[in-house]
Amino acid sequence: MTERYLACLLVVAAIAVSPLAAQERPRTPWGQPDLQGVWDFRTITPMERPEERSDQEFLSAEEAANLGQEAVDQENNLASRPAQRTEVDPSGNVDRGVDGAPGSYNNFWFDRGTSVISTRRTSLVTNPGDGRVPALTPEAQRARDEMAEARKNTGPHEPTPGGWVEDIGPNGLQVRCITGFNAGPPMTPGGYNNNVQLFQTPDAIVIYNEMNHNPRVVPLDGRPRTGLRQWNGESRGHWDGDTLVIETANFFRETSFMRGGASADLQLTERFTRQSPDVLVYEVTVDDPTTWTQAWTYELPMQLNPNPVFEYACHEGNYSMAVILAGALDP
């Protein structure tokens, strides 16, 4: 074996190994994968696979680039067009205007992202294989139909006629600033504030969402659940190799996930894997037999964000809350 041949082998080996070395995942002083930092989960990839892509699991690089450019063009068009009086779209949603405009909000406030996820999947849902959320149970479908009838001609941020305490309609927890609409748990991309900060010790991890600043403290020391129901459920975590697994149950009632679509019977398994220095893969299995006919899973690669989380003052100066409460109490 000549020196030149050996040199060639060393070069090939270096090329093969160097990407892995460059992608080495950081660890804490106590040896666990370091998940700390601010993670950005905005994306234009939909939760469910669009029907026109029913047989397509992944986008091509060209298709992904085209979708990203369309999103950028849409943002530029909305930002540069002349000011005009807001016209609410026919659905009555005050947050959605005609021609894709943001409705009651100035476009400055929105930050949905302009790219698909790094895997180029056509949906966040990975199981079932069709990329679609499973069908509702008959009971859940009936409840949604009844709610839709009760809320006919009622906007998404208004209470159901005749009610306030038990129901203010879809997204109600978010409207009352109890939970953020993308904070869950589990977390999902939304219109803005798609950031979460993780803090880590050997015995616990804290999940701190930018929207509403809900800190979820997750013990990692093996303690049992108390059985106390909470808005964010009761979470317990453990390590499975280099993946942090968090299991959550005992929800007080529905969360803001899927616009309040899940029930108090929801059980979550969240998996956090630091794939590289800049990517944290967030995988969630949703199991709610009261709502869906089978458990399902979605995956969301999060990107490291060098910026801090920002203040989210949900009801600062919101006089409409006091007015609506007063109206609800008026016989």
- 244-284 per-position pLDDT tens digit: 999 999 999 888 888 888 999 999 999 999 999 999 999 99
Q: How many domains does the chain have?
A: 2
Confirm whether 305 is domain-assigned: yes
Confirm whether 90 is domain-assigned: yes
155 and 277 both lie in a single domain: yes
164 and 226 both lie in a single domain: yes
92 and 220 both lie in a single domain: no
The whole-angstrom separation of Cα 211 and Cα 183 is 7
Residue 300 pairs with which residues in a beta bridge?
282
217 and 189 both lie in a single domain: yes
Mean pLDDT value across residues 10-32: 62
Confirm whether 177 is domain-assigned: yes
274 and 190 both lie in a single domain: yes
239 and 303 both lie in a single domain: yes
- Spatial contact of 23 and 277, defined as CB atoms under 8 Å apart: yes
- 117-144 per-position pLDDT tens digit: 999 999 999 999 999 999 999 999 998 8
Q: Could you say which DSSP state residue 26 is in?
A: P
102 and 224 both lie in a single domain: no
- Spatial contact of 33 and 200, defined as CB atoms under 8 Å apart: no
Domain boundary among 115, 134, 155: 115
- Average model confidence (pLDDT) across the chain: 85
73 and 191 both lie in a single domain: no
Residue 309 pLDDT > 90: yes
Full domain range(s) for residue 178: 38-45+123-329
182 and 302 both lie in a single domain: yes
80 and 150 both lie in a single domain: no
- 158-194 per-position pLDDT tens digit: 777 766 556 555 656 776 778 888 998 999 999 899 9
CA distances from 223 to 231, 236, 244, 272 (A): 20, 8, 16, 20
- 36-58 per-position pLDDT tens digit: 999 999 999 999 999 999 999 99
Confirm whether 13 is domain-assigned: no
For the entire predicted model, the pTM comes to 0.85
312 and 256 both lie in a single domain: yes
Those residues with Cβ within 8 angstroms of residue 174's Cβ, 6 or more apart along the chain or in another chain: 180, 181, 256
Residue 12 pLDDT > 70: no
Say how far residue 107 (Cα) sits from the centre of its chain. Answer: 20
